Amino acid sequence: MKPVLNINLDPLKHRKILSARFKIGYSFAESGINATELLLRLYLLSFYTDIVGISPFWAGLAGFIGLFWDAVTDPLMGKLSDRTLNHFKGRAPYLFLGTLILAASLILLFSPPSGVIPEYGFLYMLGSYLVLNTAMTIFSVPYMAMTSDLSHDRNERSVLFALRFAFGNLGALIAAGLPVYFLTSAQSPAEKLEAMSQVSWLLAALIILSGFTSWLTVRRKKHLLQNEKTEHWSDEFKSILTNQAFWPLLIAYTVATFGVSLNSSLARYYYRYRLMMDESEVGILLVSFMIFLTMSLMGWVWISKRFGKLIPLRYGILGLGIGTSVVYLLFQPGSFWTPLWVAGGLLGILVGSVVLLDSILTDVIDLHRVRGKGEAAGMYFGIWRFASKLSRASAFFAAGILLSGIGFVPNQIQEEEVSLALAWFFGPGVGIFLILSSLILIPYRFKDSKQNQVQRILQKRLDRAGVSV
């Protein structure tokens, strides 16, 4: 009997079509995931240094260990979700479990006991951050791998990634705005501690709402290649190692992620202590950045359909790197409107090009399938997340070391040397990694023409398999 897959077919173009309702429901979980990640990137380090009272070095070390653990577990989670794909008829159960643990652990992380001494504060941060990152692994790795399961149409997957980025940026807007609302009226460390605890409760509610919505959307959806074999993990890892279309993309992604993560870790320090912005001004700038980024996403998808994915990706990241290297050195203390429009607007639009990196990865996974290597989307996304978390861990620790090294002292006006050092690290120190990432992609050989060829081969295989509604 020919396999019957739970998909729709466009009778004119003979390609799989996911309904708009399904795409939106699946993508909604990204709002909770990204809200959590943005809160951690922007506020975790400063929360534990400025409010809890841990030194930047020890807070950075706790963050590094937590993210390193997250990186190590991502490929393992990816492989587990591949191995249980047929048993669970998809990856949906991991969304249910991950949603619950992630919401609880976020509250735990931002609700330390008041008056905790720095040594215990370090242990508390480390323990709760390990729990949170374990939950993020359970939730996000299977969720990301689902994109490759749901459709083999590369343009449709670009739409899925764009919708995920859009919902992710909606979550990021909430995560950027809520702390500003609660912290503006907080004066003492105890009040700020309570404010951030309230923020964590509200974001936990968003995690549950978005996570359960996506789980309900996909839990009855069969993945496209449900009868496809899976390799032993060692053979699978070896076949991934030999996929020459994967590693240049992964290296470029890792380098870019380090730069973006260093930028996120230092952002509040730069805007508060270099440009002397208050909490409300920082919040307005961050929210504006997310709005411009969100608005740009469908534009990048349209550009990729017209010119392919690789060229817009290269030039988008290159422009972001050059702009970052220049503009943050030029902004002067006390300025607000120029950083708002240049950093929040122009650079926010360029960051949208990063959506194409994840989209190209799904094409690389299809190349793996075309070569008869079996189902490995979870493993690919696990390694992808491993690289991302390792970069973030290194950037988080590097930010702590840099702040300690330049003599940063929280909650006071910094000396001119410290202020200028923040500008150099936040500008050229970040931009050089983005420029390097774009240069790595110049000789990339898995171009759009080859990606389209892989799509045609997969479509023929689905036709021969007798795919029906």
The pLDDT assigned to 158 comes to 72
- Per-residue pLDDT of the chain (469 residues), as tens digits, is 333 333 333 333 434 577 888 889 999 999 999 999 889 988 999 899 888 888 899 999 999 999 899 888 888 888 787 777 766 667 888 999 999 999 999 999 999 987 767 678 899 999 999 999 999 999 988 888 787 777 767 677 778 877 887 898 789 889 988 988 888 888 788 888 999 999 999 999 999 999 999 999 988 766 554 444 555 556 666 777 778 888 899 999 999 999 988 998 898 899 999 999 988 888 888 888 878 877 887 788 789 888 888 899 999 999 999 999 999 999 999 999 999 999 888 888 898 888 788 778 888 888 877 776 666 777 787 788 788 888 988 998 999 999 999 999 888 889 999 999 999 999 999 999 999 999 999 998 888 788 778 778 877 766 665 543 3
Name the packing angle between helices 355-370 and 154-183 (round to 10°). 140
Q: Which of 123, 46, 63, 69 is nearest to 394 (CA)?
A: 63
Place of tokens 């790795």: 141
User: b/e string for 116-151 if b means 16 or more Cβ within 10 A?
Assistant: beeeebbebbbebbbbbbbbbbbbbbbbbbbbbbbb
**Predicted local distance difference test score (pLDDT) of residue 4:** 35
Dihedral angle at the C-alpha atoms of 461, 463, 466, 469, nearest 10 degrees?
120
Q: Which of 219, 28, 205, 218 lies closest to 102, judged by CA? A: 205
SS3 assignment, position 9 = strand
Q: What amino acid is encoded at 148 in this protein? A: S
CA distances from 6 to 9, 28, 456 (A): 10, 21, 20
Contacts of 357 (CB under 8 A, 6+ apart): 249, 252, 253, 256, 313
Place of tokens 């191995």: 83
pLDDT of residue 469: 33
What is the DSSP secondary structure assignment for residue 343, as one 8-state letter?
I
401-415 per-residue burial string, b: 16 or more CB within 10 A, e: under 16: ebbbebebebeeebe
User: Cα 117 to the chain's mean position, in Å?
Assistant: 32
Among candidates 73, 91, 175, 104, which has minimal Cα distance to 389?
73
Domain segments of the chain as ranges: 19-464
Among 121, 115, 117, 133, which residue's Cα sits nearest to residue 40? 133
Q: Are the CB atoms for 195 and 179 separated by under 8 Å? A: yes
- Print burial letters for 215-232: b (CB count within 10 Å at least 16), e (below 16): bebbeebebbbbeeebbe
Nearest to 293 by CA among 348, 354, 346, 353: 348
Q: Select from 130, 143, 142 the least CA-distant residue to 68.
A: 130
Residues contacting 168, CB < 8 A, separation 6+? 30, 31, 33, 34
**Predicted pLDDT of residue 186:** 81
Please check whether residue 172 is in contact with residue 34, taking contact to mean a CB–CB distance below 8 angstroms.
yes
* Burial degree of 245 (CB within 10 A; 0-12, 13-18, 19+): buried
List Cα–Cα distances, 116 to 105, 112, 125, 132, in angstroms.
19, 8, 11, 20
Nearest to 30 by CA among 105, 102, 107: 102
Question: Roughly what angle, to the nearest 10 degrees, separates helices 416-426 and 310-330?
Answer: 170
Q: Would you identify the CATH topology of the domain 19-464?
A: Growth Hormone; Chain: A; (1.20.1250)
- Interatomic CA distance for residues 252 and 404, integer angstroms: 29
